[in-house]
Structure 1
Amino acid sequence: MKNEQPPMMLAPKEITEEVCKSGESKVSKPFWKVLLSAMLAGFFIGLGYYGYLVLAGNSVMTTVPFFGKFLGGLLFPIGLVLIVIAGGDLFTGNCLLTMGWMSKRYSFSKVLANLGLVYLGNLLGALALAGLMSLSQTASETTREYVLEVAAGKTDLSFLEAMARGILCNILVSLAVYMSFAAKSVGSKVVVLMLPILLFVISGYEHSVANMFVLPFAKILGGEFTIWEMLLNNLLPVTIGNIIGGGVIVPGAYYLIFKR
C-alpha cells in the first residue's frame, strides 16, 4: 500500500477555517504584543515601499516608467513577506478578522479593538522608519524627487478616487494574505504573496499603511502638502476603502460561499 502524500496546499474551503482560527489567535493576544507586532509590520511595509521608490525613481527607470514600476513592484511585496514569515500584524491583512466574526467565533467589538490598535501600531512603525530614513541620508536626489512626486499625486486625489483605489488595493492585499494560508512551504508562500501585490503596485492602487510611511517621509523632505490634505485626501478615504475591500468584499464573499 502506497503512502499518501500530504496535499501541497489547502483547499479553498479549508482556507476559510484557517483564517477563522488565525483570527481567534489574533483577537486574544495581549495588548502589548499586538502593538509591538503592528509596529514591526508598519516598519516592514515601509522598508518594502522604500525599495520600490529607490528603483522606480531611478533616473534610468523613469525613461521607461512601466519597466521601473514593474521591477519596483517586485521589491514592494518584501514587506508583506517579512510580516507573514517572521510575524507581524498588518491593518490591511487583519481586515480579514471579519470572517471570524461572521462565523460567530468572536465578537465585533474584538475586531474593532484589534484593528484600532493595529492601525495605531502600523502608524508608529511607519513614522519611525520615515524618521530613520531621513536621519540616514541614504536617499539620492532622484529618489527624493520621486518621493515628492509620488506624495504630491497621492494628496491630489479626490475622496472618491482615493477610496476606490483603497478598495481595489485591499481586495488584492487581503487575497494575498488569504491565499498564503493555503501554502505549505516558505517558497510557495512567498510566490502567493508577491503576485497579487505586484498587480496592485503596477495598477496604482492605494495602501493605507504604505502611505503612512511615504507621506510623512515626503513631508520631512519638504513636501508642500498640508497635514490636513494628507489626512482628508488620502489616509482617511484610503483607510475606508481598505476596510471595504479587505474587511467586507473578500471575507464576506468567501463566508457566503464556504461558511454559510
Structure 2
Amino acid sequence: MSYVNPTELVTKMIDAGESKAHMSTRDTVIRAYMAGAILALAAAFAVTVTVQTGQPLVGALLFPVGFCMLYLLGFDLLTGVFTLVPLAWIDRRPGVTMRSLLRNWGLVFLGNFAGAFTVALMMAVIFTFGFDTDPNEVGRAIGTIGESRTVGYADHGAAGMLTLFVRGVLCNWMVSTGVAAAMISTSVSGKVIAMWMPILVFFYMGFEHSIVNMFLFPSGLLLGGDFSLGDYLVWNEIPTIVGNLVGGLTFVGLTMYATHYRTGARRDQAVPGKLELPDRITT
C-alpha cells in the first residue's frame, strides 16, 4: 500500500532530519538555493494569476505547484528543516549536535535567500523591461504587498508585531504539515495531493512565509515599494522566521514525535493493580 502509518511517518521524518544534518555544505547550499528559486517563481506565478483574474483563490489554488516541484526534486526550505532536523537532535541520532543543527539552518537560510533574490532580480527585469519603464500591473501589486506587510504592521506597534508573529506560526504549522504529509505516501500522486492541501490554506489565508517573503519584499524594494530594507527586516523577515520556527517545531514536529513516536503509556499498563478480565466468559 502507498499509505505510510503515522508511526512510520515520524521515523521517516527523523531519518530525514538526520540526513540533512550530515549533508555536505555544497549540497545543502545548492538544494536550498534551488528551493528558494522555485518557490519564488511559484509566488510570482500566483501573484500574476491573482492580478490577471482578480481572484485570490485562483492564485492560492495554483501556488502549491512550486512547493510540490521543489519537494519532489529533493530541495530544502528553511521552514522544513526547522521541523525535521531538531527531531534528529532530540532523538539523539549519532553525530547530530546543536552545532550541526544550527549549521544546517544557517546554510539553508543563505541558500534560500540567494535563490529567492535571484528570481526577484529576474522578475524585476521582466516587470520593468530591464528597468527601462515603470513596473507593470503585477510589479505594482508586489510593491503594494511589501508596503502593507511591513509598515502596515508597524502602524499597529506591538499589536502589529504580535499579529505578524502569529501569522508566521500559523504559516509553518501548515507548511510543515505539508512536508510531513508528503512522506505519508509512497506514490507521486499521493504526495502531491497531501502537500497541496495545507499549502493552499497558508497561501490563501495570507500567513507569513519567510522564504516567499525573501522574494516578495526584495522585489518590492527593487520595484519602488514605499518601505525600507530596515522595515522589511524588522517588521517582517526576522519575526516571520521566529514564528515559522515556533509553528513548525511546536505544532508539527514535537506533537507528532510525542504522540506517534514517544507515545504515552497505555491506560491498562499505567494503572497499578488493575483487574484484567478475560476477553469472554465461558460457562
TM-score, structure 1 length as denominator? 0.91
Q: Are 2:30 and 1:28 equivalent residues in the alignment?
A: no
Structure 1 unaligned blocks of 5 or more: 1-6, 62-67
SS at match of 2:184: coil
* Offset at residue 138 of structure 1 (A): 7.3
What CA deviation, in whole Å up to 9, does each residue of 1:155-182 have, x standing for no partner?
1222211111000000000000011111
* Offset at residue 78 of structure 1 (A): 1.6
Corresponding residue for residue 81 of structure 1:
68
* Offset at residue 46 of structure 1 (A): 0.2
Correspondence for 2:246 among 244, 247, 257: 244
Corresponding residue for residue 91 of structure 2:
103
Corresponding residue for residue 42 of structure 1:
36
Report 1:136-151 matches (<5 A): 136-137=126-127, 141-151=136-146
SS at match of 1:234: helix
Corresponding residue for residue 281 of structure 2:
none
Correspondence for 1:130 among 117, 120, 140: 120
CA contact (8 A) 2:35 2:112 kept: yes
Which residue type is aligned with residue 36 of structure 1?
A: I
Correspondence for 1:176 among 171, 175, 178: 178
Identity %: 31
Structure number with greater Rg is 2
* Offset at residue 141 of structure 1 (A): 2.4
CA contact (8 A) 2:60 2:204 kept: yes
* Offset at residue 247 of structure 1 (A): 2.2
Query: Distance in 2 between the 1:50 and 1:107 partners?
Result: 37
Query: Distance in 1 between the 2:110 and 2:20 partners?
Result: 16
What CA deviation, in whole Å up to 9, does each residue of 1:114-149 have, x standing for no partner?
011101110011111101112234797221221122
Query: Distance in 1 between the 2:44 and 2:144 partners?
Result: 14
Corresponding residue for residue 258 of structure 2:
256
CA contact (8 A) 1:166 1:205 kept: yes
Which residue type is aligned with residue 225 of structure 2?
A: G
CA contact (8 A) 2:36 2:113 kept: yes
Structure 2 unaligned blocks of 5 or more: 130-134, 154-159, 263-283
Higher mean displacement: 224-233 or 105-114: 105-114
Give structure 1 regions of 4+ aligned residues with deviation exceeding 4 angstroms.
none
Corresponding residue for residue 9 of structure 2:
15
Query: Distance in 1 between the 2:181 and 2:252 partners?
Result: 11
Query: Distance in 1 between the 2:190 and 2:249 partners?
Result: 25
Corresponding residue for residue 270 of structure 2:
none
TM-score, structure 2 length as denominator? 0.84
